[in-house]
Structure 1
């Protein structure tokens, strides 16, 4: 398992959930929610988080359809990941995120959060699910998760 903090990203059309790992790459935790912006300020904020946390990698969720095929959301997330890759000095990788939001919502509901309370945290919780899945996959396989966003 490679060491170093990783940043996990769940790209939505309105908000971007962000999570981070501990330096050992063992545990992911929610970090913040960034407003999606056409002016590039969302990319700037993520680049600042990468620098602030001295991240060694960014993991962006790739929302494939349950069948595995690509959708408009898939292309949006992949394009966002490519733009982010141009703004940060670390590798950006795309990982399958099917059901991450569903998993995050279920966990929040089980934790006693109602639907209105969930909206405020579901994006960063989904980013946490995506990042934890990537960390677990790397630990199991010994290989970096997903594929490069380039």
Structure 2
């Protein structure tokens, strides 16, 4: 089952997709919202192309856990995606994802120009990978009942 991960920003939407087994996330593209005003139509093309069965949208929260205007916009986008594609859409806490990706790129000595081009795509991968990892965690009591 493939899952699509989205880092929805005001200017760009980073997109990642899982492998068919749902283990790893790979960044696939960045949708420029100025050039693609109906960016969800492009998401629909990717949903069909990759046979996606679920979508994860990064939910930016404030450090105290509250949701501000950006988070509310992501919640609205998630609801619209759910309505348009009739797929499960999960919101995933993305606090610090962009910061972590930027630090990784800086430590890898990636130029500022190149960082700007890939950061949204990598943030989408980071968000999706966090979600995928959480889905594989099984509480210990479930392990013991299967023995």
Give the structure 1 partner of residue 92 of structure 2: 95
Give the structure 1 partner of residue 144 of structure 2: none
Deviation at 1:39?
A: 7.7
Give the structure 1 partner of residue 82 of structure 2: 85
> C-alpha offsets along residues 97-146 of structure 1, whole Å, 9 cap, x if unaligned?
1011011111222222122210101001000000000001111147xxxx
Give the structure 1 partner of residue 13 of structure 2: 16
Q: Give the greater-gyration-radius structure (CA).
A: 2
CA distance in 1: counterparts of 2:49 and 2:6, whole angstroms: 16
Q: Which blocks of at least 5 consecutive residues in structure 2 are unaligned?
A: 140-147
* TM-score normalised by L of structure 1: 0.87
Deviation at 1:86?
A: 1.5
Aligned residues: CA RMSD: 1.6
Could you say what secondary structure the match of 1:123 adopts?
helix
1:64 aligns with 2:67: no
CA distance in 2: counterparts of 1:141 and 1:38, whole angstroms: 42
Higher relative helix content: 2
Could you say what secondary structure the match of 2:137 adopts?
helix
41-50 vs 87-96, which moves further: 87-96
Give runs of aligned pairs for residues 4-43 of structure 1, distance below 5 A.
Answer: 4-36=1-33, 41-43=38-40
Q: For 2:130, which of 122, 128, 133 is the aligned residue? A: 133
Q: Say how many residue pairs are matched.
A: 139
Could you say what secondary structure the match of 2:23 adopts?
coil
* TM-score normalised by L of structure 2: 0.89
Q: Which blocks of at least 5 consecutive residues in structure 1 are unaligned?
A: 143-150
Give the structure 2 partner of residue 121 of structure 1: 118
Q: 1:65 to 1:53 in 2, by over 3 A?
A: same
